[in-house]
Each structure stands twice: as C-alpha cells, then as structure tokens.
Structure 1
Amino acid sequence: MAIPPVIAVVGPTGSGKSDLAVSLALELDGEVINADAMQLYRGMDIGTAKITLAERRGVLHHLLDTLDVTEEASVSDFQQQARELIADIHSRGRRAILAGGSGLYVRAALDVLEFPGTDPQLRRQLETELETAGMDALHARLREVDPVSAGRLSDARRIIRALEVHQLTGRPFSSYMPRRAYFQPAVQIGLAVDRDVLRERLATRVHSMVDNGLLEEVRRLDAAGLRQGKTAPRALGYAQFLKVLDGGVTVDEAAEETIVATRQFARRQLTWFRADPRITWLDWQDPRLVPLAAALCR
C-alpha cells in the first residue's frame, strides 16, 4: 500500500494551526508533530500558547516539551526526530500531521535539506572574535568567502554560523539553502488570515497570557536558567518579561512590546509561507475549514 503524504498545517501565529491539526487528526486517524521551535521547551506554556491536554482532545502530540530552557534548539536534530516520527506514524497506518509556524523547521521535515555539522571550539573562537573585532569585521570576512550569505544575513549569530560552515566544509553557507523539493510526498495547508482581525486577535491573546500568569512563568523559568539558554530567552514574550523582572519596564509596557513583536513576527511568517507555491491556502474562518482541509489530504 502506498504511503500517504505527510500533512503540514502552516500559517502565522494565532491563526488556529493547532486546532485545525487536531481536527484533521480526528478526521483522518492522525497524530500531530509540533513544528514550533519554542514549544519544544518544557515550562514555556503560556507564552508560546502551547496546546493544552484538554485542547488535544485525545490526539497524540509529539515533540512538545523535549528541551530544557538552557538547551539550544537545533533544526537538524528536529529534522531527524520529525522524520523518524513520520516514518513510525505511517508504519502504523496513521497520518502524520505537522503543525507549527517555524518555517525552517517545517521545511527541514518536508524538504530535501542538508545540514552541515558544527564545531563548538570553532564556534567559541568566532564568538570571541565577534567580541574583540566586532560584527562589521566578521561580516566583511563573510563577504569575501560567501557574498550571497553576506547579502542576506545581518544577525551576528547567523553570520557566525555561516563562517563556521565555510571553515568546516569549504563550501559557502548559501550552498546549503533549501530547494523546494519534497523529501517524500506532502500536502501543505496554509491558513489565510484577515490581517486586521489577526492584529486584534494577537493583542487580545497577549493580554490573556498576562492575565493567565505569563510573568510568573517567566520568573519560574528564569530561576531554572532561562537566561543561560541560547534559543529560549529570545522567545516572544519571554525576552520582554525578563525586562520586567529586571525593573526595566512595567508589565503593561512589556505587554505592548510583546504585541508589537508578535505582529511583526506574524508578518514575517506570512512572507515566508506565501513564498512557497506548493501551499494550498484556506480561509481560517471558513465554517467548512475542516472538511475542506480533510478533502485535500485524502
């Protein structure tokens, strides 16, 4: 019997991906694989809008709560774990459903995508160089060996990664960019949003997170080493509310900063996913959303 395509539910934060994934799993006898990098972290529940046990409605969910906040999330590790889960779910005659808005993580699971290795010692050396020589010097070095990446990257962490890859492999980091070619058959469903409605929904959601104890969650995770992590402390809401703990801003100011940052993030997600012509877009508020999405997956 032919293996069915992997299903991926994508779109901006706050568009209802988790709910649709659960509904599809119930309709198609499936299991959900999380593809949101920040929901990998244990304890980061309120600020990531992690789906609750009640909201899962008995559907098995994978790759939630797999990392401590001090650990660095790795897209290459995610790729291996997600593909192993997809194979296992399909081997049991069920449907694998990816759900999440971390675009590179979705592509890592679905697409032909190669990840070069890492070298902690070389990474530390480059980080030291960043501190002593500054980012402009590293960016200039990257321009010499990989002008394509240099033109794309302005973030210090990614510039260091691009230089690390070049020194390790002799290949430019840009040569590892993903192609739009599925690793195995897949169906991608995107949730098309009304942007004005989404803007208000995101603001309401942030205020609800604050009311539900986001500051206490951040305080608890700070005691568990949140600031020592490389990935977790940059998460939306957590970065802003750490400043509340430091006395730098008020809760209301942190909430407003989080709303602005979340709206910007949603715009970036839409830009990322809209660039993929393989995604079929469905109206997030269509009352026929679940049967329409299920029909695409059958």
Structure 2
Amino acid sequence: MRAEEAAPTQPPVIAVVGATATGKSDLALDLAERLGGEVVNADAMQFYRGMDIGTAKLPVAERRGIAHHQLDVLDVTEEASVAGYQTAARADIAAIRGRGHRPLVVGGSGLYVRAALDRLEIPPTDGTVRARLEAEAEIVGADTMHARLIALDARAAAAILPGNRRRVIRALEVIELTGRPFSASMPTREFVSPAVVLGLRVERDLLVERIDRRVERMWEEGLRTETEALLGHGLRQGVTASRAIGYSQAVAVVDGALDETTARADTAQATRRYARRQESWFRPDPRIIWIDATAPDVLDRALTAVREADAQVRDGIPENV
C-alpha cells in the first residue's frame, strides 16, 4: 500500500470546498474541533509567506489551536507546483492519520484539492520547452496559443480559458513532451483513498455582497502596505504570486498606474470572476455534497454527511459511485 492510501478501516479524509467567501475556513474549524482534525490548506495563494491580508489567511490567533499545514510554505519568488503540493499534502494527510487525527483538506483551488484527493498523474516538465512557448506567446498572443491547443487537444482547450496563458502553455508543453493529449493526464474522479467532499454554496447576490465586503476589508486592513513589503521580497519576480488577485492591483497603485478607488473596484470585479470560475470547476463533480452555507444548521448537515461517509467505509461500500 502506498503511503498516501488509507487502510480500509480508516475514516475518510474530509474536504471542504467552494467559492471564495463561502465560509470554508469557519466550517473546517468547527469540524476539526468536533472530530479531532487538522487542516491541510488547498488555497494556492495561501502557500505564500507574507501574503496574509489579500488571501484572507486565518491568523494563528483565530485557528483555535488547530494545526494547519501547507500555509506559509513558499517565498513569493517561488512558483507553486501541483506536483510538489500533491507530494506534500499527501505526506501531511498520512502524518495526521498517524497521530490519530482527522485530515481536513480545505480550499477553493480545485486542481490542488483534486491533487490531494484523486488519482492524478502529474506530467513531466521541461524549463526549456516552457520558456520557448512563453516567448512565443509574448509574440503571437494568448488567443493564438489557445487556438493551437484547440487543434491539438480540443477537450483540454474546452477546460482552459484562453486568457489563462499559464495553463495553455502548460498543456502545450505536456503535449510536446509526451506526445499525448494533455486531457489524458487531467484528474479522474477517483479518490486515491476514501474521502468525503463537502461543498459550500451561497446564493449569487449574497456571495457578491460578501466578496465586496471582504475586498473592502482587505484594503482597509492594509493590503497596500502588505504589498509594499512583499515587493521588497521579490514579489514582481514571482511567477505565481505576482498575479494574485488584489496584489496585482496593489502593485499598480504603488507604481502609480491605478488610483486606489479603481484598484479596489478592479479587485472586487476580479474576485467575483474568480468565484464564478471556482463554481464552474466544482459544479460538475457528482461526489460533492452541497450545503447551503447560510443555513443555521450548516455544521449539523456537514457532520451528518461525514457520519454517512464513515458508515459507508465501515460497511465496505465504494465511494466512487
């Protein structure tokens, strides 16, 4: 048995997913308190040290003494890697189980959640090939690169927005290196070990209100000041971190390219778009148990779903059905 695979008698890993501002962190803390759990972060931007305000990272004082993993593990100059996260997150899950605790994977970065939970082949990388494709994209533009992906792998192209240049280039890189469609390495909906995935859902108008309030709070609490400090640690050179919503707008303010009022509005708009993409990612997965995040009994509903999943594992019922 591989290290990341659970023994049949072990209770499932719990995952809490959903769009930004749906209350994932609060529910995860409640579940961890009730079930003796530890949290494994699956929000890609919370990997970065110093990126606290703009990622809504829970301060240590608000974590209720519950252990959190995969927070503050990268410098802003480092690139986040699905392969690296998969290895680290699965090691965390195994270690948490070894301590007799319940692992909770929590976050809205869908591919990272699936890297932790699902059977996912991580294709090879080649810095030279990627650099060549990135240089070409600078010349011909994102739409042309996406059109090439359509010609080579229509299924992958349908799952990747033309504006997501990084993922388009990654798909083209994998196709060139392997001679196979990128979609062949996309995650399948098969858990690597038993898991129960809880999805938090908020009605759209209310979610927009929550996002707008959160963005205003971030700016009021010092997003610009935090960004200025990160610039001193190389934020501009960070391939992943420099594109983070809120921070890219704050950099523009520091540079004098945007006034703060416009930057706040742009941050809110970008966050709303991101929430829609998150919903689109999670919605098709039939394994997710959706819960109304505004329901007064949200914790009870979550606990019921967890207990039912636990019973299925005890009774030997497959979870991938």
Task: Tell me which interval the TM-score lies in, with the shorter structure as reference length.
Answer: over 0.9
Aligned to 2:288: 279
Counterpart CA distance in 2 for 1:169 and 1:233 is 29
1:133 deviates by 4.8
- How do 1:29-178 and structure 2 match up within 5 A? 29-135=36-142, 138-139=145-146, 141-153=148-160, 154=162, 155-178=164-187
CA shift, 1:158, in A, is 2.1
| Counterpart residue identity of residue 270, structure 1 | E
Instruction: Give CA-to-partner distance per residue, 1:155-186, whole Å, 9 cap, x none.
Output: 33222212211221121111111111111110
Aligned residues: 298
The TM-score with structure 2 as length reference comes to 0.88
Query: 1:258: which partner in 2?
Result: 267
CA distance in 1, matches of 2:286, 2:155: 23
Say whether 1:19 aligns with 2:6.
no
Moved more, 119-128 or 133-142: 133-142
Q: Which amino acid aligns with 1:199?
A: V
1:272 aligned partner, one-letter code: W
Moved more, 130-139 or 110-119: 130-139
Q: CA deviation at 1:151?
A: 4.5
Is contact 1:28-1:294 (8 Å) kept? no
Residue of structure 2 aligned with 1:204, choices 200, 205, 213: 213
Please give the TM-score of this superposition, normalised by the length of structure 1. Answer: 0.95
Q: Which residue of 1 aligns with 2:196?
A: 187
The separation in 1 between residues aligned to 2:72 and 2:99, in whole angstroms, is 24
Q: Bigger shift: 217-226 or 43-52?
A: 217-226
Partner residue in 2 for 1:236: 245
User: Quick one: which amino acid aligns to residue 86 of structure 2?
Assistant: Q
Gaps of 5+ in 2: 1-6, 308-321
Q: 1:21-43 deviations in whole A, cap 9, x for unaligned?
A: 11101100010000000000000
**Alignment partners' CA distance in 2, 1:138 and 1:36:** 27
Change (3 A) 1:151 1:25: closer
Cα distance per residue 1:194-218 (max 9 Å; x no partner): 2212211111111111111110001
| 1:213 and 2:204 correspond | no
Say whether 1:268 aligns with 2:258: no
> Which amino acid in structure 2 is aligned with residue 89 of structure 1?
I
**Aligned-residue offset at 1:14:** 0.7
Q: Which whole-Å CA distance do the structure 2 matches of 1:23 and 1:97 have between them?
A: 11
* Alpha-carbon shift at residue 238 of structure 1 (Å): 0.6
The whole-number CA distance in structure 1 between the counterparts of 2:268 and 2:261 is 11
| Consecutive aligned runs of 4 or more in structure 1 exceeding 6 Å deviation | none
Q: Tell me, in whole angstroms, the C-alpha distance in 2 between the residues paired with 1:157 and 1:137.
A: 14
% of aligned pairs identical? 56
Offset, 1:67: 0.3
Q: CA deviation at 1:296?
A: 1.9
State the Cα distance separating 1:138 from its structure 2 match: 3.9
- Return the alpha-carbon distance in structure 2 between the equivalents of residues 144 and 293 of structure 1: 43
Partner of 2:314 in structure 1? none
Question: Counterpart of 2:196 in 1: which secondary structure?
Answer: strand
Which residue pairs with 1:246 in the alignment? 255
SS at match of 1:7: strand
Residues of 1 paired with 2:23 and 2:235: CA distance? 27
Quote how far apart the aligned CAs of 1:149 are: 2.8
- How far residue 72 of structure 1 moved from its aligned partner, in angstroms, is 0.5
Q: How far, CA to CA, are the matches of 2:212 and 2:223 in structure 1?
A: 14
The 3-state SS of whatever aligns with 1:276 is: coil
Output the amino acid matched with 2:125.
Answer: T
Question: Quick check: 1:38–1:232 contact (8 Å CA) kept in 2?
Answer: yes
